[in-house]
Amino acid sequence: MKKNERVKVVHIITLSLVIFFLLGAILNIYIVNQSLKRLALDDAESKANMLVDHHLAIHAYFTKILKPRLIQRSAPYRNKESFEPSWMSPNYAIREIHKYFSELNHSEYYIKEASTNARNPENEADGAERAFLEKLIDHHEIESEAGIRTIAGKTYFTLLKKGEVMEGACLTCHGNPSDAPKQLTQLYGVERGFHKKEGNLVSAISLRVPLSTAYATVQKTTGYLSVLLAAGLAILLVIQFMFYRRWFISPLTIVRDKALEIAGTEENHLGEKILGLPGKEWSDMADAFNEMSVKLKNGRDRLEDQVEERTQELHTANEQLR
């Protein structure tokens, strides 16, 4: 007997069903996982752009409205050597605003106006921010750069965007140290944040939106989906087994057993019929089998009658010859 003849058809069908289901489940889980990650990334990018625009709007308000008006109104009450960073330095004000924001929101958002040789070390550009600033020097058409970074074991969506250019009104504090208010140099020194030129790009907005929590939610959702699909596969296999047993295995077993009985040594089974098979196809097969069984029995009976008749004729002929 050939090897493939010993393999049960129901096992082949079940194995094929399991394979196709698993392939479909894996593909579905992968698509859902990637779609949810893409959704989380799009949401992070939208938040990042909104926060950067909000940052630039605050900076523009301080530079173009608040600072000029306060300088004009306070001129009679202060001397040129005075310096109050809370309203004279937009970067200082924005940094302090962000600290309040971080206290209210614990989602680990990160934003700063990154620059090289920054007056405040908190604004000093890191490696990626410095590389972006250097790239902007040779490629003025670049406006922003986005990506995904893993920092201290946590995943972030990062956005680097071209910041402010140096304006003439800002050169008093960022040009020659000798022209800066004494209170400024006493506070920050004369080494950092000076020697800028009008029109030069001085900073880039660096923002990070945490993705670890969102990605963890994606993995949890994917895990739930995997469990659900595994349960679905188990239920499907049980239903499939019950279905095949009722509509395939049991009828086939009945037909096989009856055929073996007829083919056996006992001749009294010939002519017996198969009854009660489910479904039209099995009923049609049973009718054909029953018709064959009856015809074979009738044929055998006629053959036996003919044999008996011929035997009787031979016996009569032998008697006459005597």
pLDDT < 50 stretches in the chain: 1
What is the token pair recorded at 262? 């007829």
- DSSP secondary-structure letter at 246? I
pTM of the model: 0.65
pLDDT of res. 4: 53
pLDDT of res. 1: 45
Cα 67 to Cα 121: distance, rounded to the nearest angstrom = 23
CB 118 within 8 A of CB 192: yes
Cα 233 to Cα 210: distance, rounded to the nearest angstrom = 36
From first CA to last CA, the distance across the chain in angstroms is: 57
CB 190 within 8 A of CB 224: no
- Angle between helix 9-61 and 212-244 (nearest 10): 160
